[in-house]
Structure 1
Amino acid sequence: MTRACTHIALALHDHKGTYWPYVVTTLTSVFLHSSSALHVHLLHDDTLSPEACAAVSQLCRKYQHRLTLHPVELSSAMATIDTRQFSVASLYRLMLPQLLRHLDLVIYLDADLIFNLVDIAELVRAIDSDPHQHPVSAVVDDLFSGSASSRRELQMLGIPASQYFNSGLLGLRPQRIDLDLMESLKHFIERHPEAEHIDQDLLNQTFAQKVHWLPAKFNHQVNLTRGRYFDAIDSFNQKILHYTGKAKPLSGTFAPPDIHFWRYTHEVPHIHRYIQAPMRYLQQMHERPGSAYLIPTRERKP
């Protein structure tokens, strides 16, 4: 299938004004390796700052890709939903099938992804290889069953771990999705008030048996589960890295996958302003060679 351009969508809620650098960094990683013309759709609410808007707009102009800003607003009922530890922007992706109904394919990207030496055209080819054109293309969440709470969640949904996908990267075919997913979410929460990953769980339950499975390299989760954050540095090459969990590069971590993140931050003006001061550890010899204790430094209040 030949398209004039590839449509990608991201969502942003930024009440602290410190998350938009992730959006710019994700887009930079996509743009640097893309052999395709791109049309970026940014779903945002009133927390989009003028600085963030200017940075995203300038980035798209520099790399000659089209940008459309989509102001969105949740209904009063939806605005009261407890999204747990996740940003309310996680709900905005549920609007995409209605908002972009005219498109045959849109690729949704979380803002904590890095296309590390990956051309998005390769991802599009993998999605288009689906002869049945399923409504959703995604990668199995190979870390989801790592905790007891997640295993209970899978049991609640009636979905085996091998059939549960991570919703941080999705190939969506809006014309093959008839449901209003935002409306479906209300009913889902009524049925499953204990659900932790409400939007991701909804998508998994809604599209069970209707998923085109993508190779794992297109959503390689990087977090502390099973020690993946400390894998060898070259194990992250030629993969789409997804910095899930609490350990994120701008929070001050510095482990092998963070090096790949920093390769793509050069388009964020004054990126140092958004780095949270990490806990610094001084390793000192104590009692005998090879033993150490960790001393956190005092950090100045902003």
Structure 2
Amino acid sequence: MNVHITNIYGFIHDQDLRKKQNQFADAAHALGFKEMGIFNFDVSTDTENELSKRIDGIISSLQFNDLVFVQLPTGNGEHYDNLLINKIKAYNTKVCVLLHQTIEYEYVLNAADLIMPTNNEVYAYLKEHNYTNVFYKKNINYEFELNSTSSNILSSDFYIKKYLIDAQDQLEESVLNEQDEDIIHIGFGLHDKDGHYSVWVGTVMQSILEHTDSRICFHILHDETVSEENKRKLKQVAHQKGDSIQFHFIDTSIFDDVKDRLHRFTVGTMFRLMLPEMLPNLNKIIYLDADLLVNTDIKDLWDIDISNYFVAGVRDYGTCHHTFTPYPVREGMVDRQNYINAGVLILNLDKIRSYGNMKNQSIQYLIDNPESNLFDQDALNVIYKNSILLLDEKWNSFVLVLKSKNVKEMENRIYHYVGDLLKLYSDCQIDKEYFRTICRTPWKDYEMNHQFERCFDRMNDRVYQYQNMLQLLSNPNIKHVFYGEENKKLKTLYSRIHLKDGDYRVLEYAKNLDSDILPCKDLFVLKDEKDPIIIFVNWESDDCRAIQNLEELGFKNGKDFFVVARFFSVNDGGFM
């Protein structure tokens, strides 16, 4: 399908109209639209046959089922504009009228699939005459301020492009009844600063569609970082079996109060909080993170009854197995065994709305609890703690955990990478299937080489880690310091390194158990350590602040301290 836009040329008395159409056409060119040039002339000099041939020449590039933005008025009069629209519609096209001035062309305005007003006067006229095909993107303030004398939002090139993109999205979608129980609604948050995050969302979508016969509608909550090329590819994934995709723009300024605390997370993690607002006519949705592989029919998850709950999710593995302690658990706000991971959620949107505004409540929680560092996940666990349905672990299975248990074969599960990396050199079927799924998406040409390069880089990094460690370990006076609680990884490392008298562990605040092999000290004793030391760190220690804490003390990663997971194999809980 091609997208076209008309544009006027030649001498025209109304220079403001010409300038406006040129401005919209320039924005459309940048988006890849094809132009239909219209020459302004005295229409009365043409016979009907001549006029018809002239318009046929203008629309000669048109193909069936294309999309056309027609900028009106053309300046050539009502008869010309009616004939233009009539001929374009004959190609079974969808027509969007960009209306720059008030016109009383009944045929044109009723024949258009969508009318887009570009100023306050036109918007007021359309509203007064109750045209039902006027474009209004819900939850985005394109509604014009009728009493405003200032320039409206469409005075900038950025918002003109956005206006055109959103209209195109709406016209490309089939009519969707959001309350149709046969449609499964799935939401994603997408912030794509480096242009690569869209790949992961597309891969999850691909894996979903390959395992279900149900109709799916994907909802992409995104900001300005998502490129038009990646949007096109996401549409390509969704449309391969005739399913739907809707893009919902998020103004990230609404999260300004907490943005500076996100650190290793992006603002995209907060987008899921907007689902109840962005989809006011929807009563239920599945939310998914982008680092998932769905190897089961998503309908089975959709069919779980959550009518009596706000949220459904799976217990966070690290939390319930005492290898990680989120802030709300540490502070007694949420029971450890009831704390869920937010990577796979079913949200009862009706019930959530009845309880208040999810986004506002979550932001307020984060303001009131500045030490909370899992952000929306922490907030959701606290706000809805009395009404969360705990799901079977198969709906959110951590890949790293399965690899540590030497699970290699695929099962009917949703696999969650949770920061783990795809390893093509492993014998794990999960990784192999994930790679195959990526290679069935529109990003395959780039991703095949990219994934090979990443894998080789990690193997080279492992060699580099060992080289640097060997230099330190060869020093007979070196003291071993381990940062973290004594989990399986540290105990495995103990067995591979000859422990010495004086070796110890550290945490921000020392915790010692009778069963511990090594004593634990407060982290800051490292500042006064006089002996040469080598530090081995579990990156997830102290609520994932371990690496940051060591760097703030002046220690260098890969030189003074080494992240255990970077040189351990996956079977031992590592990254390799």
- Aligned: 1:7 with 2:185: yes
Which structure carries more relative contact order (alpha carbon 8 Å, separation 6+)?
1
Could you give the per-residue CA deviations for residues 244-277 of structure 1, whole angstroms, max 9, x where no partner exists? 03x2228x78462322311311213312354335
| Inter-partner Cα distance in structure 1 for 2:339 and 2:425 | 28
Report the counterpart of residue 448 of structure 2 in structure 1: 272
Identity of aligned residues (%): 25
Offset of residue 27 of structure 1: 0.4
In 1: Cα distance, 2:374 partner to 2:231 partner: 29
The equivalent of 2:434 in structure 1 is: 261
Distance of 1:261 and 1:229 partners within structure 2: 18
Cα deviation, residue 67, structure 1: 0.7
Q: Report what 1:36 is aligned to.
A: 214
Pairing 1:150–2:329 present:
no
Instruction: Answer yes or no: is 1:162 the counterpart of 2:337.
Output: yes
Distance change in 2, residues 1:149/1:6 (3 Å): closer
Code of the residue aligned with 2:385 in structure 1: it is A
Bigger CA drift: 140-149 or 107-116? 140-149
- Secondary structure (helix, strand or coil) at the match of 1:134 reads coil
- Structure 1 or 2, whichever has the larger Rg, is 2
Unmatched tracts of structure 2, length 5 or more: 1-178, 464-566, 568-576
Runs of 4+ displaced beyond 6 Å? none
Q: In structure 2, which of residues 389, 413, 418 is the aligned counterpart of residue 239 of structure 1?
A: 413
Aligned match of 2:359 in 175, 182, 189? 182
TM superposition shift of 1:218 = 0.6
Q: CA RMSD in A?
A: 2.6
Q: Deviations over 1:120-178 (max 9, x none)?
A: 111112x22x4x43121111112225566625541225212210001011111111113
**Structure 1 counterpart of 2:372:** 195
Which letter does structure 2 place at the counterpart of 1:27?
M
Separation in structure 1 between the aligned mates of residue 321 and residue 433 of structure 2, nearest angstrom: 25
**Could you say what secondary structure the match of 1:233 adopts?**
coil
Q: Return the alpha-carbon distance in structure 1 between the equivalents of residues 207 and 333 of structure 2.
A: 36
Contact 1:135 1:172 in 2 (8 A): yes
In 2, distance between residues paired with 1:177 and 1:57? 29
Aligned residues between the structures: 276
Residue 96 of structure 1 is matched in structure 2 by 275
Cα shift readout 1:213-253 (whole Å, capped 9, x = no counterpart): 21110111123xx674562211x4111001103x2228x78
Contact residue 338 and residue 390 of structure 2 kept, 8 A:
no
Report the equivalent of 2:143.
Answer: none
Structure 2 residue matching 1:197: 3-state secondary structure: coil
Separation in 2, partners of 1:255, 1:71: 40
Contact 1:229/1:255, CA 8 A, preserved across alignment: no
Would you say the 8 A contact 1:102–1:175 is kept in 2? no
For 1:136, which of 311, 317, 321 is the aligned residue?
A: 311
109, 113, 116: which is aligned to 2:292? Answer: 113
Partner residue, 2:560: none
The residue matched to 2:187 in structure 1 has which SS? strand
* Distance 1:183-1:81 versus aligned 2 partners, 3 A rule: farther
Native 8 Å contact 1:7 1:107 kept in 2? yes
User: What SS is found at the alignment partner of 2:458?
Assistant: coil
Q: Give the aligned partner of residue 249 of structure 1.
A: 422
Q: TM-score, normalised by structure 1?
A: 0.83
SS in 1 for 2:341: strand
**Corresponding residue SS for 2:194:** coil
Q: Which residue of 1 aligns with 2:383?
A: 206
* Secondary structure of 1:15 counterpart: coil
Cα distance 1:187–1:243, how it changes in 2: closer, same or farther (>3 A)? Answer: same
1:54 aligns with 2:232: yes
- Structure 1 residue 184, shift from structure 2 partner: 1.6
In the alignment, the residues of structure 2 paired with residue 9 and residue 146 of structure 1 have an alpha-carbon distance, to the nearest angstrom, of 29
3-state DSSP of counterpart to 1:133? coil
- Runs of 5+ in structure 1 lacking a partner? 284-295, 297-302
Query: 1:75 aligns to what SS in structure 2?
Result: helix
The letter for the 1-side match of 2:418 is T
Q: Quick one: which amino acid aligns to residue 73 of structure 1?
A: D
Cα 1:139–1:100 change in 2 (3 A) is same
Paired residues of 1:103 and 1:173 also in contact (CA < 8 A): no
